[in-house]
Every structure is written in structure tokens, then in C-alpha cells.
Chain A
């Protein structure tokens, strides 16, 4: 018999349990104001389950415990994990598990614990930034949407099983009448789901890239640059190596349990394991990807070599400046508002050099200058 603990009813909501059951193929047989009864899917043995709604009966708590223990037996999981999954059925759960000789069941060295928790935060931060806009490297300031998201992310109870950290990412449920997720829910994906989707995609891409480098001896820079658009960044790679820690040399297993209230939004496997052999590759990828910026307060001086604006009435035009930046001649793409675009046209026509300050970063194959200051026309012969 389990020791006395906080009542399940303080954090298990029967409505969320219903969402969970529906998402896992259970069929409702009876439903009224006091309870519902369910029939499990055939692959789980067509078992019946009783779910109480009302707290009024004296044995409400006992019946809730039975729900958890039944599901634990059917799913072959620890009751603790089932309870977490039911409690957070409306959230995507990101579980990070370390496996290493230094990690005992339910314990690990304090130093490794600090790295694990910091790395978990860094990983979610990287995923949130990449969900706004994929980049090779993110500076210290996260985009606004990412910061708001991170304010709402919570840490759950650690679970047994080596050492498991659980990150809870709530997902806004679709606006719908019935409990069954409908197809149209895919059309509007809330940002928090975009983050966890991006995380899964990026983790798969990172692992794939690392394995390619090891197996085919391919270039780290080229291989990892190729997966930046999938959400891979220096920040993400650094987070994974931080969690593994050099001393622990752990297998880092990261898995996402999708919220029951929304269907998965990626085809990729929701779990990835980074073996110790991948860590040196990731460390190298960190260094390479950091070379892609962003670098704040950079100045480029050069000539406008390309102008591009679609329709007349569009407010933004894009130009390419070929010039000196960071001591190197580069072609840098710049988006300009209307009045500055006209200056760029003048510079191009009169073959006059231009100068502009901004944040330089590599995106895909192109160098981009953003967060711009004023574009200035220089006198001919000034560069």
C-alpha cells in the first residue's frame, strides 16, 4: 500500500482524464453528471474503466486511485508517470532522462543536477526562439513571443527511472464543442505547440546531423548549417552537451508526450537519445554555428548591387550591399522601409557608397542585416 500523500483530487481533473482517454482510443459507454464508464481499445484488452466526476460520494478519491492504477497496469507504466500524464493531459510534457554510471535511481551528483536543470531551460529557450524564427545562433535577448512562452513553462516533479526531469508546456485546447479533437484544430496551432513541435523537429535533425558527421566524416559546419531551418542552433547543441556534462558522459534521452487535447503536429519521432559519442560533434557544431551571428552593432560600408521591391505599394524593399563588414568583404541582404529604399535607389544610380549599422546574422546561405540604423549615402570615393 502506498504511503499517505496529497489527494489525487487536488490535481486530477476528470475532464482532462476524459480528454486523455479519448486521445488514447478509449470509447465512452455511459456518461452522466456523476460518472462515465469507458471501454478500452482492443490492443489494450477491451477493459472497462469507471471514472467518477462528482466529489460528493465518500469514495471519490478511492475510485480516482483505481483509475490511475488500472491505467498503469494497462499501459505498463509506473502509476507516478500515469498520474503526471493525466494531470497534464492538456500540456505537452518534455521528459529529459539521463543514463550514466554517475546517475543512480532517483539521484545524481549535485553538480550534474545543476547542469541538467540549466540545460533543460536552455533547450526550451532555444526551441522557443527557433519557433519564432530559426537561426544558427541566438543572442542573449529572446524574441518577445519566446519570452512570454518561457514565463509559462513549468517544471514538474522529477520521476523515477534513472533521473528524469519533466518540463510542462501547456497547450491551449482547440476551440470546439465536443471532447474529440477535430481536424480543423490543425489550422491554428498555438505558439506553445509550435515550440514543442520545433523542439522535436530540431532534436531529430541535430541527432541526424551528428550521426552523419560520425558515419560519413562530413563537414560539421556544412552539415549543421543545412539543418538550421529545422530549428537547430548553437544554443540547442550547447544545451544538450550541458545536460550530458563531460563528467557524467551520459546518454541524454529527450521525449515529448503530446497533450491529449491536440493531435501531434509533426511526423518526427517524439523521442531522441544523444549517445556520448555524439557530444564532441555537438560541441564542434556549437563553435561553428556561433560564427553565424547574430552580431549586434555591426557596420557595413559598400555599394548597393541589387534592388528588389515587388508591387509599387509595398512598404518594404530589399537590397543587397556588397562591402566590408567584420573585416571581410561580404554580400549582405537588407530590408528597408520606403524612404530609405529610395536612398538606396539613389546610391545605386549614382554609384555612391552607403553605410548602415545593424545586427548581422547568417540565415541559410545569406548574411542579413537587421535592427537597422539610418542608411547613409557617402560621397563618391569615400570607401
Chain B
């Protein structure tokens, strides 16, 4: 299988696993459009629909987490879709950092299963327009690790941000 397809599948699996651990449903959007890869929807409560989060996924081997932030070249279309306001449901970019060697992505044993290396998130909501035509350098703080806690804190009821 092509490496990019592997990275695509792997990053989806990572986020689905995090969502499942958080008790949140993850589904592929009904509408085929390039910028949102997964809709995350928490269960309804008694008096309201569940909060949601839309996620754009990227996967890269070329991330250096040693400093407090790193840069990622995001296609301009994705940048513009993720920065647009207003939105009914918040959108975040999730970057999954993987080892260069695919054999090292996952380690399985009887006690634990390890997915390498880390998922990070950032919100581009309200970012300025860009004159770029190909990609935009997006800065991601390494403290913004995407896990159960970050997922739950980013979920919002539709319309809440308006």
C-alpha cells in the first residue's frame, strides 16, 4: 500500500481510538469535501444534542518536537477552510507525528499496545488571509497534545461559538 495511504489510515485510526476512549462517536462526513476528515460527536444529554468537533487530519514524519513549537506546511485550501469564521461546529487541525520507519508505528504486546509517536492539535479559527498560493506554514505548540482531555475540551454544542 502507498505510504501516503498508510499515513492517512493510521492518523484516522489514532483519532478514532482517542474518540472511542473519550466515549465520542467518530464518523466520516456525509459531504465529500477536502478539509474535514472526521466529525466527532459526543452523546446527547437529556436536554440537548451532544457537543461536536470537526477535525482535519494530517500525518507527518517530519516533525521536531524538541522545542516548544514546530512548523507544518499546510495546503492553502485547508488553511482557508480551517480559519473561516463563523462556524456552527469548531474545527481543529490534528497532526499525527509518526516515525520515519513504518515498522515502528505500532508496538503490540500482551500488556500494552503503543501507537507512535504523538498527535498534536491547533485551531486556525480567525487566522488572517494568506497571499500564498500553495502552502502556508502553520505553527503548532508542542504542549497541545491531542488526547482524550484535549478532545473533550474542544467539543462544543453546535452554535455555541456564534
Q: Which residues from chain A sit less than 8 Å from chain B, CB to CB?
A: 1-4, 29, 34-35, 37, 47-50, 52, 56-63, 65-66, 68-69, 79
Contact = CB atoms under 8 A, between A and B. Distances in A.
B109 to A, nearest CB: 35
A66 B54 CA distance: 13
A1 B32 contact: yes
Contacts of A56: 86
Contacts of B29: 1, 62, 65
B49 interface: yes
B54 A59 contact: yes
The 6 closest A-B pairs by CB, nearest first: A48-B49, A58-B84, A65-B30, A50-B158, A65-B31, A57-B86
B48 A48 contact: yes
A62 B159 CA distance: 13
Contact of A3 (B32, B49, B87, B91): B32
Interface in B107-147: none
Contact of B162 (A34, A48, A61, A68): A34
Contacts of A47: 44
A212 to B, nearest CB: 48
A69 B28 CA distance: 12
Interface in B41-80: 44, 47-50, 54
Interface of A, secondary structure class, is: mixed
A58 B158 contact: no
Interface residues of B, number: 25
Interface of B, secondary structure class, is: loop
A37 B31 contact: no
Contacts of A37: 48-49, 158-159
A4 B36 contact: no
Contacts of B86: 56-58
Interface string B141-162: 0000000000000000011001
Interface in B72-99: 81, 84-89, 91
Contacts of B44: 47-48
Contacts of B28: 1
Contacts of A29: 47-48
A58 B159 contact: no
20 contacts: A3-B32, A29-B47, A35-B162, A37-B49, A37-B158, A47-B44, A48-B44, A59-B36, A59-B54, A59-B87, A59-B89, A59-B91, A62-B33, A62-B54, A62-B89, A63-B88, A65-B31, A66-B30, A66-B39, A68-B30
A62 B49 contact: no
B126 to A, nearest CB: 12
A62 B35 CA distance: 11
Given A57-B86, A59-B88, A35 B30 contact: no
A65 to B, nearest CB: 4
A2 B30 contact: yes
B8 to A, nearest CB: 13
A322 B148 CA distance: 93
A62 B36 contact: yes
B76 to A, nearest CB: 15
Contacts of A50: 49, 88, 158-159
Contact of B32 (A2, A52, A58): A2
A49 B88 contact: no
Contacts of A60: 88
